Structure 1
């Protein structure tokens, strides 16, 4: 089984890189977000993962906050929503050859941690993307969690949401790392559960809404995981 999973990972990773190249080539000739959506759907259809969606997307959403476990998470999101997503990611990713180009061409948003000037640029970029009717999309943990426990949420999400009084919708992805795990060179196709939680308007007077949200999202994750295990 492990050997098969490693072979699957090699094939899936090659397909992901091919799809990134495809999206880069399509950017000059196709309006956003179609190039990225097509590339994401190509990945999904060729490596055979599926999704089960619970809850409904808020049609007025302005920000998605999503837990992060796998490099497949972006592809999952791009295939379950028709929204034009503006991903927020650390600046180091934009500096990676090839991958950075796939993020800069669609005008995703880079953030440089521990930089005061970066915060100003982040807020300016977020305002610009919102004016273009895009949905700010973030992994508030800032990096992948490999334990099933969500990492502390970074403050950037709260700053953007509070400054613009955004309608925020949390989304919980369940066990995506058990499908695609780059650290262990593992891939096995599976059905990925996606849970849309209730949306809300960010309240800057509530200093704890982001940390409270992490607790709520963790509970949803744990409940869905327990439900999945009981159905096996």
Structure 2
């Protein structure tokens, strides 16, 4: 791409074309800046190269490591491999990460990280730069994917099925056990990747998890990931991801009956306010 400069865009004053989207009929978009054909070709090549790197890691490294740790009770070493794989993939995508707000994390405490979600890059960034060993809450359908689902179980990824109270209860109990082992949890509260520039309503699962594990909530904001590898774009561009860890929202003494919606709204508002400060775009 062209030489990168850091220009902060205030979403409240941006021109409409800066954030123009076209989502009808799953039409692919170019967001948020215009680009040359040469740049887009490079973006597509980098996109497919990054997934080739993923496939290579999964087949030749992750699978043997997963099998090894599947039969071990202590899996701290597996998280080290996940951290390594996440960083390798981010490097293959050509991105760097600027993480701020780690001073909001207290030593020895586990958290529920509640974040926005606009790109596959978010997951790898959270894993590698949250400053904590992290488990994830994912869609239950992903656990059924061959190899991938097997690895998720080893990597402390859980799915909370609210339609089945017994399974939901078991998932919460597993989450407590994982957090007792020193892990925090990351939850993409929108439930799916949003289109570039969007912030979808937050689902309640993240707050239920925080309440039932008595863990503080850390709102997390990812900026620029939608520009570097946005949903339905099929491209990957080099650049810098901004990850912001916001001050903790305490849940001590809170209950689902009285405080769930308050905590949900407070978490989303914190994320929305940080996003409204602007993003750093590549020109």
The question of a shared fold, defined as TM-score above 0.5 by the shorter chain, is answered with: yes
What is aligned with 2:125? 76
How far apart are 1:137 and its partner, in Å?
1.3
Counterparts in 2 of 1:223 and 1:20: CA distance versus 1, 3 Å: farther
CA deviations on 1:181-222 (whole Å, 9 max, x unpaired) are 352211111100011100121232423111222122111012
Structure 1 unaligned residues grouped into runs of 5+: none
Match of 2:90 among 32, 39, 44: 44
Q: Does 1:222 align with 2:222?
A: no
Normalising by structure 1, report the TM-score: 0.89
Task: Tell me how far apart the structure 2 counterparts of residues 187 and 36 of structure 1 sit (CA, whole Å).
Answer: 21
Tell me the equivalent position of 1:206: 259
Query: Match of 1:141, SS?
Result: coil
2:183 is the alignment partner of 1:130: no
Q: What's 2:62 paired with?
A: 23
CA positional deviation for 1:113: 4.4
Map Cα deviations across residues 103-155 of structure 1 (whole Å, 9 max, x no partner). 12223112224332232122111111111111011111111111422211111
Equivalent in 183, 187, 193 of residue 144 of structure 1: 193
In structure 1, what is the Cα distance between the partners aligned to 2:164 and 2:278?
A: 37
Greater Cα shift, 1-10 or 77-86: 77-86
Distance 1:118 1:66 in 2: 24
Aligned CA distance change for structure 1 residues 24 and 224 (closer, same or farther; 3 Å): farther
More displaced stretch, 127-136 vs 41-50: 41-50
- In structure 1, the partner of 2:6 is none
1:59-98 paired onto structure 2 within 5 Å? 59=106, 60-98=109-147
Q: Retained in 2: the 8 A contact 1:111–1:122?
A: yes
Where does the alignment leave 5 or more consecutive residues of structure 2 unmatched?
1-38, 70-74
Corresponding position of 1:4: 42
The C-alpha deviation readout for 1:59-107, integer Å capped at 9, x for no partner, is 3242111111111111111221342211111110111123212212223
Q: Considering only aligned residues, what root-mean-square deviation do their CA atoms show, in Å?
A: 2.1
